[in-house]
């Protein structure tokens, strides 16, 4: 076999998948994300990603019923969430909580296809509970019990704020979750697949993926993108700020993508919904600031925004704390990661690439006194 090297594995095909592709726009199991975001709910899309087909009515009802029943976490975990210092980032807390959930998972040791599907459903239901509970405990509020009559993203907003979200907010939240649900062989998905390729378990794969997603070059970009807008601060400062940053060759978080060089279809779709929520919540200034930055980055560098650029604003308009944005990405993506873990294990070969050695040539060992 010929060996090839590409920094950052750019252009390297590292596996096969039937879950999604970026070749013809972004599609999940053959369906365009725009169509899914327009007509489906997140729960339908989660089912599609996990099971391979859109659910029939009875299948969807059963799925929703199972998610509702699993939307609780052990009291020991709530106690841990209470004890972790308030300054700990929610992403770190979520990573710990995911690992801890494995200790209470009755099928933790069973990595069969069927058991992994069941474990995925339970994680999907439990992670929003963890994020909402941690946020409320941190801010000295009583916990809000899940309302299983609500869809998963709306239920998250309910558990977090103790108020039912408006229809427009539910639609926008749902769409953001759909667009975050799955994305082929990105860094966190690849991490999850690598982890289980050793025949490790699903919770280990997901915990590792959360660690990979956290970085600002990947999922952490949605929190960093809001940081950009906070730093800019006003419409009047936007143009000078962006020209200065580009002149210094610094990166602007929320822009650029390894694969989408002409535009991220998720960003294009979410921009319209985000603008509608901005109008409803009185955030027109933020939209104008974002538009100025977007136009200049495109004109000067031909770099388009990615999904995190509108999503950061959307979550800000909902009044969500910035520290929850990447955890929300996790809540939406856990189904994509799990589907990849299951696909990897269905046809597994351990991931073991090679490296080009750049260290010293072979040399003679010397006793400590002669070094």
Ligand X SMILES: CC(C)(COP(=O)(O)OP(=O)(O)OC[C@H]1O[C@@H](n2cnc3c(N)ncnc32)[C@H](O)[C@@H]1OP(=O)(O)O)[C@@H](O)C(=O)NCCC(=O)NCCS
Positions in the binding site for ligand X (CB under 6 A) = 8, 217-218, 221, 251-258, 301, 303, 306, 308
Give the nearer residue to ligand X in terms of CB position, either 107 or 291: 291
Task: Write b or e for each residue in 311-339: b if 16 or more Cβ atoms lie within 10 A of its Cβ, otherwise e.
Answer: bbbbbbbbebebbbbbbbbbbbbbbbbbb
Min separation Cβ 299 and ligand X, Å: 13
Residue number with the smallest Cβ distance to ligand X: 256
Active site residues: 257, 308
* 71/221 with CB nearer ligand X: 221
Q: In terms of CB distance, is 302 or 364 closer to ligand X?
A: 302
What backbone torsions phi and psi does residue 82 show, to the nearest 5 degrees? -70, -35
Q: Quote the least distance from Cβ 90 to ligand X, whole Å.
A: 18
Q: Is 283 helix (H, G, I), strand (E, B) or coil?
A: coil
Q: Which is nearer to ligand X, 68 or 89 (CB)?
A: 89
Considering the complex, what minimum distance in angstroms separates the CB of residue 257 from ligand X?
5
CB of 185 to ligand X, least distance (A): 13
Tokens (6 digits) for 107: 């099928």
Question: Quick one: 105 or 223, whose CB is closer to ligand X?
Answer: 223
97/270 with CB nearer ligand X: 270
Coil, strand or helix at 17: coil
Closest distance of CB 200 from ligand X, Å: 26
Report in angstroms how near the CB of residue 162 gets to ligand X at its nearest.
32
Residue 91's nearest CA partner among 267, 252, 329, 277 is: 329
CB of 333 to ligand X, least distance (A): 12
Closer residue to ligand X (CB): 253 or 320: 253
């Amino acid at each position: 076999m010929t060996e090839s090297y590409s920094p950052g594995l750019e252009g390297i095909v590292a596996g096969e998948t039937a879950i999604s592709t970026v070749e013809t726009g972004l599609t999940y199991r053959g369906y365009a994300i725009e169509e899914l975001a327009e007509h489906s709910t997140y729960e339908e899309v989660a089912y599609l990603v996990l099971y391979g087909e859109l659910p029939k009515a009875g299948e969807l009802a059963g799925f929703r019923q199972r998610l509702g029943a699993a939307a609780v976490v052990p009291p020991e975990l709530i106690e841990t969430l209470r004890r972790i210092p308030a300054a700990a980032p929610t992403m770190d807390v979520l990573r710990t909580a995911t690992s801890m959930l494995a200790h209470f998972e009755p099928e933790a040791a069973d990595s069969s296809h069927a058991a992994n599907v069941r474990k995925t459903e339970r994680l999907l239901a439990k992670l929003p509970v963890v994020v909402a509970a941690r946020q409320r405990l941190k801010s000295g509020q009583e916990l809000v019990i899940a309302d299983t009559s609500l869809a998963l993203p709306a239920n998250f907003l309910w558990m977090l704020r103790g108020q039912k979200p408006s229809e427009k907010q539910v639609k926008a939240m749902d769409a953001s979750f759909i667009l975050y649900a799955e994305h082929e062989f990105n860094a966190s998905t690849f991490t999850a697949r690598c982890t289980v390729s050793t025949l490790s378990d699903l919770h280990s794969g997901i915990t590792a993926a959360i660690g990979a997603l956290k970085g600002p070059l990947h999922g952490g970009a949605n929190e960093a993108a809001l940081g950009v807008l906070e730093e800019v601060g006003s419409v009047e400062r936007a143009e000078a700020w962006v020209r200065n940053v580009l002149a210094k060759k610094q990166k602007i978080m929320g822009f650029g993508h390894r694969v989408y060089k002409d535009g991220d279809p998720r960003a294009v779709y979410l921009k319209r919904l985000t603008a509608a929520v901005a109008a409803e919540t009185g955030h027109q200034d933020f939209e104008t600031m974002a538009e100025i930055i977007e136009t200049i980055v495109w004109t000067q560098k031909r770099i388009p925004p990615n999904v995190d650029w509108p999503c950061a604003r959307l979550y800000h308009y909902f009044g969500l704390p910035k520290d929850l944005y990447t955890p929300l990405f996790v809540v939406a993506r856990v189904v994509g990661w799990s589907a990849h873990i299951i696909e990897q294990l269905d046809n597994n070969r351990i991931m073991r690439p090679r490296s080009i050695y750049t260290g010293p040539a072979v040399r003679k060992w010397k006793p400590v006194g002669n070094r």
